[in-house]
Structure 1
Amino acid sequence: MTVADVVLVHGLWSDGSSWSEVIPFLHDAGHRVAAVQLPLTSLEDDVAATRRVVERMPGPVVLAGWSYGGTVITNAMAESSHVSALVYVAAFAPDRGESSFGILQRFGATVGEAVRPYEDGLCGLDTDRYQEVFAGDVPAVRANVLAAVQKPSALACLEAASGEPAWRSVRSWYQVAEEDNALPPAAQRFMAERMGAVTTSVPSSHASPLSHAGEVADLITRAAVGTA
């Protein structure tokens, strides 16, 4: 079994514990794992936080992003030889000049209806709609906890234009969440095809790292083997 250094990047309104169900599978496969804690204050800040974690791993690194975490990994290591593979899990994979928000608009996403603006440019998801939008196949008790502990995130993260995408130079894998009410599956398939990613799918809500952790971990391991 190929042992890899795996760095996991979460999305908006969440934290590194989003990967809590995936990490044990990766450990069982022998991988070394680190989950980034994004500040969610700007894309620039999130990219910097991710680079710090990647650069302290021996490498080469399999870099996996879920949701907005895909935008982060797209921008984090575009010019680095330290990353051997990118894995997108129900994730944004913007091209140069695109934003996460722009992709949502292009594909008619309705997640914006559940976003609640806070002070200082921050926002969160309506707790009453969290399970419907984000975690439809996660038990209600767990989904309610996730809604309660969600991390306020800067709207600027969604609006920031992406730089030169790492997926143009790094081999990529993509897992489509077929029952996603946040990032439309059509958008996911479009991005996966555009970047020529090895593509799989799961019958999952947006929260596939929680509801389909084994399949997510399997894809990350496939990426590690594919670049060994």
Structure 2
Amino acid sequence: MATRRTVLKGTAALAGAVVATTTGLAPAAQAHTGGGRPKANVLLVHGAWVDGSSWNAVTAILQRQGYTVVCVQLPLTSLADDVAWTRHVLAERLQGPTVLAGHSYGGAVISGAATGVPNAVGLVYASAFAPDEGETLGGLNAQFPAPPGLAFVQPDSLGFLWFDPAAIPANFAPDIPLADARVLAAVQKPIAAQCFGDPAGPPAWKSLRSWALVSTQDRMINPDLERFMAKRSGATTIEVRSSHASPASHPDKVAGLIVAAARAART
């Protein structure tokens, strides 16, 4: 039987083969304002059990407003892997000032990926973690009453965590259409359990301005934990009666925070 190590080695080998045949790709073009000044780019980072398509509604809103948007597809194999991949995408695919937005686990990723990066100009946390250096997501969760949705997380033989498909509509995304929630359950992307035990590195929110959306009906991250992290980071914060899936259920609110961050970067 394949082990988690051999699976990841195979994935890395495939990625290397693809890179070897696709060098020289041009980065996404940066959009400009009417006055000729470049708009900040937007890099969107998904969380656990979803992929970049979880940002589709937000992406469409931002593109209609003329923003250049790239959605990262995380490997979800470790926090270090995901931070490194996000930094790679930021360096390879975007030029100029860039706002990074993270949903859920993606908040931990952008906190590390934007640290020390000159063109990172703002952070947006949507129902997301914002750990300090040395903290783990499991440790942060333990500081507050456990959110009920975590009871439906199931480990597999390779050390990845899946979400019980039948529980996703009621716990992960109860405020999107039921048919969409069922699709979300079918296409979920598992996350390595170690991602919740990996200590975070130095966070970018200590040097960059940040914005946060707290989901008051979140069943995956305790809303009080979201409030604690937002306050600690000094984030401009809004509270929305939203489930954990705020980029899908309240894309206008999330996009509004991203636009606010992008506009602040030009002042």
Q: What interval of TM-score do these two structures reach, taking the shorter chain for normalisation?
A: over 0.9
Deviation at 1:173, TM superposition (A): 0.6
Quick one: which amino acid aligns to residue 9 of structure 1?
Answer: V
Matched residue SS, 1:129: helix
Higher relative contact order (CA 8 A, sep 6+): 1
Quick one: which amino acid aligns to residue 13 of structure 1?
Answer: W
Quick one: which amino acid aligns to residue 31 of structure 1?
Answer: Y
Distance (whole Å) between structure 2 residues aligned to residue 59 and residue 159 of structure 1: 33
Distance (whole Å) between structure 2 residues aligned to residue 188 and residue 92 of structure 1: 7
Distance (whole Å) between structure 2 residues aligned to residue 113 and residue 203 of structure 1: 22
Distance (whole Å) between structure 2 residues aligned to residue 109 and residue 55 of structure 1: 37
Moved over 4 A (4+): none
2:97 paired with 1:60: yes
Matched residue SS, 1:181: coil
Aligned to 1:44: 80
Deviation at 1:112, TM superposition (A): 2.6
Deviation at 1:3, TM superposition (A): 2.1
Quick one: which amino acid aligns to residue 95 of structure 1?
Answer: D
Of 109-118 and 36-45, more deviation after overlay is shown by 109-118
Based on CA coordinates, which of the two structures has the bigger radius of gyration? Answer: 2
Matched residue SS, 1:69: helix
Distance (whole Å) between structure 2 residues aligned to residue 53 and residue 123 of structure 1: 25
2:115 aligns with one of 66, 78, 82 = 78
Work out whether residues 98 and 121 of structure 2, in 8 Å CA contact, stay in contact via their aligned partners in 1.
yes
Quick one: which amino acid aligns to residue 88 of structure 2?
Answer: R
Q: What residue ranges of structure 2 are gaps of 5+ in the alignment?
A: 1-32
Q: CA RMSD in A?
A: 1.1
Q: What residue ranges of structure 1 are gaps of 5+ in the alignment?
A: none
Matched residue SS, 1:120: coil
2:208 paired with 1:165: no
Distance (whole Å) between structure 1 residues aligned to residue 213 and residue 247 of structure 2: 11
Q: Deviations over 1:45-100 (max 9, x none)?
A: 11111011111211211000000000001111211111000000000000111111
1:195 aligns with one of 233, 245, 261 = 233
Distance (whole Å) between structure 2 residues aligned to residue 39 and residue 129 of structure 1: 23
Distance (whole Å) between structure 1 residues aligned to residue 150 and residue 223 of structure 2: 16
Q: Deviations over 1:167-198 (max 9, x none)?
A: 00111111111111111111111100001111
2:57 aligns with one of 18, 21, 35 = 21
Q: How many residues align?
A: 228
TM-score (norm 2): 0.83
TM-score (norm 1): 0.97
